Amino acid sequence: MMTHENYLEQCVALTLIYPFWPGVRYLSILPTNHAIDFMVGFFGPFTCGATVVHLRTLRPEYVREAFPKYKITYVSLVPLVLKNLQKGLQARFDALPPGRRKVFDALVRINKALTKSRPRLGLSRSLLKQVHEAFGGELRAIIVGGAFTEPQTLQFFYDLGIPVANGYGLTEAGTATTVNDLKPFRADTVGKPLPGMEVRIVNPAADGVGEVSVRSKTVMAGYLNEPELTAETIVDGWLLTGDLGRFDGAGHLQLTGRKKNMIVTEEGKNIYPEDIEAVFESLAVKEFCVFAANYIWPKRSMAGRKTCARPPSRAGAAVQRRTPAGRQRAQQSPAKLQACPRGSSAGRGLSPDGFSQDQTQYSGRASREAGQRGRHNHFQTSFTKAESRPRCPASRDALPEYCV
């Protein structure tokens, strides 16, 4: 249950960092019932006299046209949309002729060096004029929230002179609790507490990580008709968020994961699945699964051996067919698995992952199988690599093999 005071206090706190005034034009893309758009696309403009631009359609071409047409000042996005926007811009940059690409990269490096301590919008708009003109030439910041945003995505836009206001919050505490104030820009944190917000770490471990708790006038009155749940969540005026994090020396909050996801080993070590997943972010794999070793399957030793998969024979080769829904399905006999001694011919002459780089497609089923039983301290990663036809030397049975 949120009160009028909750939202008004949140509005005051946010506009102290990212002000609205008559003449500001906010592009509303998210639904107004979304906590972020409800605050910065409804409360903020109404209380400060700013303008809100609503589009009849959210088709990409109309959204792109809205920036220069209405000279947008602010826009709020969820991380997925921001990531797709990054991919689109990067594709355009990659398509530049070599000469223009060198000039562009040099301008980006100059802008990055000159804006290290704080944003300099006028300078960035002069150095990277075409990029900023595509956003209307008056964009002050992109507001992002609702889920985790990759630091490299935040850094990508900041290097172009487009600050991204990332932060941390939850519905029970209003919209935002911490926000990056860009003084200086930090892509590795979720910023500092907003004015009027008290944030502390409860029961911190040796590394400083503990549960994030919040106390402010933006904290909810409680859960509707759930007095017991409310009493568990709000203790002595402090909202227990269930998120884990730490404060660094500069007062920035760094999140590490969810309390309910944390795994405690027999040795008392805390394992955060989010940290493990981050290790594999750079892999050319669409989805992957992390699971506890010796938990799903019995414990076994593979010392001195590699696990190899043998594709089906020609009679069982994959046959692609298109279903009425437009999806492709592969019909094939299951691949045979066998153990190959280290140094066998199966791995020679291949790319590092054992596949021909230009013919490999990756697919998989993502799920986290490491439960919360607190007794697993080893992890294995499982990848499903399908629809591939690797170029491999002949093996013992004149059938190609590849190591996975």
Would you list the domain boundaries of the chain?
4-261, 270-322+330-403
Q: What's the CATH number for 4-261?
A: 3.40.50.12780
| Pairing of the two strands 141-144 and 74-77 | parallel
Whole-number Cα distances in Å, 258 to 172, 215, 263: 16, 19, 10
pLDDT of residue 93: 96
pLDDT of residue 293: 66
* H-type alpha helices, 23-97: 35-38, 44-48, 60-70, 79-94
Q: Which residues contact 141 (CB under 8 A, 6 or more apart)?
A: 18, 74, 162, 163, 164, 165
pLDDT along the chain (404 residues), means of 10: 92 91 93 86 91 89 92 92 92 95 97 95 96 95 87 95 92 91 91 95 92 95 94 94 93 88 66 74 76 64 54 47 41 40 38 36 35 37 39 41 36
pLDDT of residue 305: 56
For the chain, the farthest-separated pair of C-alpha atoms sits apart, in whole angstroms, at 77
pLDDT of residue 275: 74
Residue type, 349: G
Q: Residue 217 CA to chain centroid, in angstroms? A: 29
Answer whether 0.75 is exceeded by the pTM: no
Residue type, 173: A
